[in-house]
Each structure stands twice: as C-alpha cells, then as structure tokens.
Amino acid sequence: MADNKFAAYICSGCGIGDVLNVGALEKIAQKEGKMAMVKSHPFLCNAEGVQMIRDDVANEGVTHLCIAACSRRAKAEAFSFPTAAVARANLREGVIWVVAEGSDHDEIRQEMAEDYVRMGCAEVKKMIVPGGNVKESSSKRILVVGGGISGMTAALAAADAGYEVVIVEKSAALGGFARNLLKRVPFSGPYAEPQATGVEEMAARIGTHPRIKAHLNSTVAKTAGAPGRFQISVAQESGAVTEETVGAVVQATGFTTYDIARLPELGGGQANVVDQAGLEAMAKQANGGAIKRADGKEVKSVVFVQCAGQRDTTGTHLAYCSGHCCATSIKQAMYFKDQNPDIDTVVMYQDLRVPGMGEDFYRSAQQKGVIFTKGKAGKVSGGDNCKVEFRDLILDEDTAADADLVVLATGQVPNAGVDLDVWTEINTKAEGGDEAAKQQRRDLEATSVLKLAYRQGPDMPQFKYGFADSHFICFPYETRRTGIYATGPVRRPMDMLQAQEDATGAALKAIQAVENAQQGRAAHPRAWDLSFPKARLEGCTQCKRCTVECPFGAIDEDEKRFPLFNEERCRRCGTCMGACPVRVISFENYSCDTVGSQIKAVNVPDEFEEKPRILILACENDAYPALDMAGIQRITYSAFVRAIPVRCLGSVNTIWITDALNSGYDGVMMMGCKKGDDYQCHFVKGSEMAHYRMSKIGDTLKQLGLEPERVQTQEVAITDNARVARLINEYVEQINEIGPSPMKGFG
C-alpha cells in the first residue's frame, strides 16, 4: 500500500454539475475517501479529460482511480487505464437521471451522489491491478469431435480462418447423417427443388486442407486440462492411441433418429412402414429411378405421417418438435413426384413447420401435385396394403388412406453422451464400494463422448431432453465446460442449413477461447478480465463448497484436499467467492472487501431522519444494465437506494447481507437473472445458487430481530427498465410500512 497513490476524478458534464454540488463531492473524496489527489473536469471523457488522468498516472504516480461520472458501462474505452486500478461512481445514470427534479429532491440527490463517491473511493482502495495468467505455450489448435455436416463446417470455418484443426470421426468416412441423403432441402434460391448435399465436396476439402488433421475410425479416449492446454487421447479402431494438444473443443456429435420400433401404434416394425432415414436409403438406391419397397414392388402411393413420436404430451415419446421433419417430408415427396407425377403423394400434418424460405419449397411441392392433409394419425397398418387411419382436422371426421408405403417423420435424439445426473448417482454408489454400481459406471464411461477427466463427470451437462448443455437463450454454443462448445443437433433440433450456421458460430467461439487463453483473459462474458480467483489456504476449512458450486468445473482439489483452481476454465463469475463461508477466496479487483467496503462507506441516517437506506446488489449482466436503461429513459425511482453491481448473484456472500443489516440498512434487495430450465443467468447457475443461499438466511434475520421481508431477491431481465424502477419504489414503500431497522445506531 505504501507505493499506491489514490486519486478521484469528478465529472461535471452531462448535467451533473447543474444539479449536484461538485465542490462538496470533491471534499467527500478528499476527507472521507482519503484520496491523495482530487480533480474535477467539465468533460472528463473528452480527449483533454482523459489525457489529464493519463498524465497523472504517468507523471504523478497515481495507481488507483475513482472516476465519478457516468455508469461503468459507459465510456469503458475512454476510461481504460491498464496499469491502474479503476473504480466508477455512477453519478449520471445512477443519480441525476433517476431522481426527479425539484427542490424537495435536491438534498437527497446530493446525499445519493456523495454516497456513491464514498463507495467508489472505498472500493478502489481494496483493489489490486490483476497481473494476468498468461500461458506462453498455450495451444491455438481446435478439436472438432464429429465429422458430420456440423463438424465439417466448424472444421473448415476454423481452418479457413487460419487455425489448425483436429477432427475426430468414429466412422470410416466424413459426412455423418448427411452422407446417407440423396439430396437436401434447398438452402439457396429459388428454393423450389431439392439440392445436392455437398458432403463429398466438403469431405474432399478437409482431406486436402493443410491445416486440418482428420482421425477416422476414431473416438476420444480422454479429455483433460483446460482451454489452451487440453490434452486429448484419440483412440483408433486398431487400438493405437494418439495424443493431441488443443486449445478448444467443438462437440458436433449430431443425432440418431427416434427408434421407429417404439411406435407400434403407427406401424413401427411392420413391413412397408419406414422412417425418413429408411426412405432416404431407398431413394438413394433408386438414384432418380422408381423407388421400390423392400419386397421389390414399385411404390405408386405414399403417405407421410408428420410428428411421429414428436410433440408428445403424454411423456411416452419426444416432447419437442425436431424442426427439419416437415421440410424433409416435402423434399422426399418430391422424390416421388419428380420420378413419376402420377404417384399419389400425401403429407399428413397437424402443423406444417418450414423454417427459413420453406414456404417457397412448400408451394413448389403443391404445384407438383403433393397433397397436404391436415390430420392426426390414430393407427397405421403395414404389410402389402398399408392403411393410415386418421382424424381429418378440417372436416372433423374419421377417415382412412391406403398406400403402398407409409413414412413416419420421427425426430432427432441427440448423441450427447452420459447424463451427469445418472452418472453422479451411480458414481456415488461406486465410490462407496457397490460392485454393481462400479460395472454400471464402466458401462456409462464406454458411452461417453468426450471422456472428460473432470470431477463433475465425463461429459457436458444435459438439458431435460438429453441435449448437450448450451446457453441457448442468451449465448448459443456456451456450455458449463469452458472452452468446450456444442453445435448442431447435439444441442438442439435443427436442419442442415441451421446446423451449418450453428457450426460456424461455434468455430468462432472456439477461436475466441484459444485467443483469450493465450492472453490469460477470461472467457465470455468477462472476456477482457485478467483476474482469476485465489484462495488464502491457511484459512480454508476444506468444506468443498467452492468445488461443488462452481458452475464450470474450474476447481479441483490438490493432494491435501485444498481447492486447486484451473484458471483457464474459470469464467470469473465469483460463485466460489459467494460460496466460501470463511471468505478466503477473492479476486484482485473483486472481493468480499471491495463490496463490503462499499456497503460500509454509505452514510446511514438514524431512525429519526425518516430516510431509509436500501442496498441493491445488482447483477452486472442484466439488472445493472436495466437500472442504467431506466436512467437513460429518465424513469425515476427512490433516491434511498444504493446500488452495487456484482459480477453475478452467485458471487454474493452472505456476509454482505449481514454487514448491511448490522450497519443499519433498512433492507437489502438482490436483482439477478432468471433461473430454471430456461435460465438467463450468464453464469448458468449463479442466480439459482443465490436464491438457494438466501432461502437459508431466515435464521440470521431472526437472530438480529429483523423481519424476513427486509431481504428479497428479484429476477430481472435486461429489458426490465420500467419494471426495475417499479420494483424499487414498491420495495421502498414496503420498507416504510415495516418501519426503520432496529439496528440503526449499532453499525
């Protein structure tokens, strides 16, 4: 601390100087904030203002800056000083734009601004400039697991961008499911005819590409390490094992079709009832000629039954729509019409779903004579003369259709590997000595795709339908295994065009991952962050909460059972910091002290002043931007709140809550992202963990003699600018009804 020099810079632009007493703010920074240097400027973010700060850093030895101006989300580039620690006090969006104008509000607006200056000065005093975690030998190679249309697209995208790629495919040839197709749904104008798949051309490009190395008849035997230093064991069918070092992994293991034998009511397992893959094989064998059944009879009539075992509400079959099936049936119906226009071709649907330019494709099929019937099949009989009994949803009557062949549009089942929920249960029993569980564990390991050497299990987490983990609402491809990205039908149902677009995005994310790893930076969403967690091991109780609660498998245990951080896997969310009951985990620029000091810096009025103080801990990814947006739109809310942005609600340590309440705060409101299956938390589990921890805080409130309503948690989306102001105002009213905290005066 002896070599540190602290300075505060206060902007009077954007109307700040018009409604706030900037001179008073300077005195607060100097006397209470104990800043060695305090300056104000009429336009701090312009070239002159920024140069003033740069000169002080270069010539005056300033190491720590508190910038009291606009939100930390604004002017980030202008106020970037890499060699100094920087804290931001939000006077614009957080004070003058959200507190209504008028003489009655002048005093509380000034008090609010003074508190934010105090908080900024207190925060920066506890910060250290992160030194980074640069790995000079970091690998920029990218591993693609799966050689289907998604995997080949990802490999070519990364290789064409200049990165070396290793592709692992379990079969003897590249192409995956698409290799078995005669043609594909059109992906370019005029969207009227089935088009060539292009699989052979892509495979040929990969075979001759100087930056792509392909392992065929191979599987991944082990994946260890972290972004920039994954160690991959590739097992060949011959028994040989090759070791590869890569920086990122793209899982593109595709799908299998839903088992037609599970649909006996729709003729599954009977003669001349096939799925779309079965028809594709027949069409490919015919190669433009007459399509024939297995018994050699030429097909003169065909019925396609859509949503076969899909969109099922009973829980027996697939609950979801697989996206491609309607367009695929249209394509296959055209196989028949293009060969012989007289073939009776019926597509029976409940809802026809054709993404992209599929409407044009559908119209083209109609013009060729394909009949589209809105109906729900009840029973299908196979054999020499097939029959489809169905409910005509237009005429609202039961009827039937005869056909030589019935095609069931079954869905996509992802090849995602081991279900970690099942794995955890079996692994626990196996570690307890259960011999049957040990065999079950071996069987599961054999079905694993990535063979991850992670304490959390051998594959990525899965969603409820078995699709590989991906932050599909906010950030496609992102998974809970940093540097490993899911793409194609393994992460959600999709057609070939969507899979190719998806794979290109995953390749770009993999490139971002290897570049960040080499520079020692965090992964998305804190991609600029050079900090990483450190533990003061002498205070660690080995409770394992950090290792268990880390959403990304970034923390293992060393030989002494202390936490061992894999910095490259870490997303810098701080969930481990929030989990630690003894507060020994911290980041250089974000810690229990940086937030705790802000909480304690606020001037809390006594109970007679009738000015409540409410702490808001706002997620920096959704809630805090929503607060900023409220300010930008001049939506007013109470000036009695003090907002502190946190990296994620998962980083909130309960000590912050107890410190605030002990200091006389009248309430604490936490604002985070949506949790659950359709979560919007940038760090996946952070919001959920915060809700769980706060559900346990009731005993603490009782011990302090406080009402449980004084602490609440809200789910806030980034678009909730009006709602967030309403939540604040309603909460302030609720606190006023409860009355001032009995802890005032004891802080």
Which pLDDT tens digit goes with each residue over 663-699?
Answer: 999 999 999 999 887 788 999 888 998 888 888 887 7
80 shares a domain with 92 = yes
Q: Would residue 217 count as lying in a domain?
A: yes
Q: Would residue 75 count as lying in a domain?
A: yes
What integer pLDDT is reported at residue 702 of this predicted model? 80
Q: Which of these, 23, 19, 51, 15, lies nearest to 39 by C-alpha position? A: 23
101 shares a domain with 146 = no
d(CA 158, CA 138): 17
According to the 3-state scheme, what is the secondary structure of 259-300? CHHHCHHHCCCCCCEEEHHHHHHHHHHHCCCCCECCCCCECC
Please report which confidence band the pLDDT of residue 103 belongs to, taking 50, 70 and 90 as the band edges: low
What's the rounded mean pLDDT across residues 561-587?
Answer: 93
Please report which confidence band the pLDDT of residue 578 belongs to, taking 50, 70 and 90 as the band edges: very high
What's the rounded mean pLDDT across residues 177-197?
Answer: 95
CATH number of the domain bearing residue 381: 3.50.50.60
Contacts of 509 (CB under 8 A, 6+ apart): 248, 477, 478, 485, 524
Q: How many alpha carbons lie under 13 Å from residue 162 in its C-beta half-sphere?
A: 3
d(CA 488, CA 477): 9
What integer pLDDT is reported at residue 2 of this predicted model? 53
How many C-beta atoms surround the C-beta of residue 341 within 10 A?
10
344 shares a domain with 228 = no
29 shares a domain with 111 = yes
Query: What's the token pair of residue 350?
Result: 């409940």
Contacts of 661 (CB under 8 A, 6+ apart): 668, 701, 704, 706, 710, 711, 741, 743
What's the rounded mean pLDDT across residues 302-311?
Answer: 97
- 357, 381, 414 - which closes a domain: 414
- 485, 502, 519 - which closes a domain: 519
Phi, psi of 405 (to 5 degrees): -145, 140
108 shares a domain with 89 = yes
367 shares a domain with 267 = yes
572 shares a domain with 547 = yes
> Which residue has better confidence, 715 or 528?
715
d(CA 652, CA 282): 59
Q: Are 626 and 680 in contact (CB under 8 A)?
A: no
735 shares a domain with 612 = yes
Q: Is the per-residue pLDDT at 512 higher than 60?
A: yes
Q: Would residue 92 count as lying in a domain?
A: yes
Mean confidence (pLDDT) of the chain: 94
What integer pLDDT is reported at residue 319 of this predicted model? 96
CATH number of the domain bearing residue 529: 3.30.70.20
CATH number of the domain bearing residue 110: 3.40.50.960
219 shares a domain with 312 = no
Q: Is the per-residue pLDDT at 326 higher than 80?
A: yes
Q: Are 647 and 572 in contact (CB under 8 A)?
A: yes
Q: Which of these, 591, 524, 631, 554, lies nearest to 96 by C-alpha position? A: 631
> Which residue has better confidence, 697 or 514?
514
Say what the pTM is. Answer: 0.91
Q: Model confidence over 611-639: pLDDT tens digits?
A: 999 999 999 999 999 999 999 999 999 99
406 shares a domain with 282 = yes
262 shares a domain with 407 = yes
**H or E element that contains 738:** helix 721-738
pLDDT above 70 as % of the chain: 99
Q: Would residue 363 count as lying in a domain?
A: yes
Q: Would residue 489 count as lying in a domain?
A: yes
Q: Would residue 455 count as lying in a domain?
A: no
Query: What's the token pair of residue 1?
Result: 């601390």
Q: How many domains does the chain divide into? A: 5
The CA-atom distances, in angstroms, between 348 and each of 273, 294, 401 are 15, 23, 10
Query: Structural domain of residue 167, as residue ranges?
Result: 142-254+460-519
In sequence order, the β-bridge partners of residue 499 are: none
Q: Would residue 440 count as lying in a domain?
A: no
Q: Is the per-residue pLDDT at 455 higher than 60?
A: yes
d(CA 167, CA 173): 12
- 381, 414, 447 - which closes a domain: 414
Tell me which residue has tokens 């920086």.
247
Query: What's the token pair of residue 231?
Result: 């160690």
Q: Model confidence over 593-604: pLDDT tens digits?
A: 999 999 999 999
d(CA 332, CA 290): 13
Q: Are 225 and 135 in contact (CB under 8 A)?
A: no
How many C-beta atoms surround the C-beta of residue 235 within 10 A?
19
Q: Outline where 400-476 has alpha helix (H).
A: 420-431, 435-447
For residue 129, how far is the Cα from the chain centroid?
28
Q: Model confidence over 386-444: pLDDT tens digits?
A: 999 999 999 999 999 999 999 999 999 999 999 999 999 999 999 999 999 999 999 99
Q: Would residue 449 count as lying in a domain?
A: no
d(CA 193, CA 188): 10
CATH number of the domain bearing residue 744: 3.40.50
300 shares a domain with 409 = yes
The CA-atom distances, in angstroms, between 238 and each of 129, 243, 244, 448, 663 are 52, 15, 17, 19, 69
Q: Which of these, 41, 45, 32, lies nearest to 6 by C-alpha position? A: 32
Q: Model confidence over 206-241: pLDDT tens digits?
A: 999 999 999 999 999 999 999 999 999 999 999 999
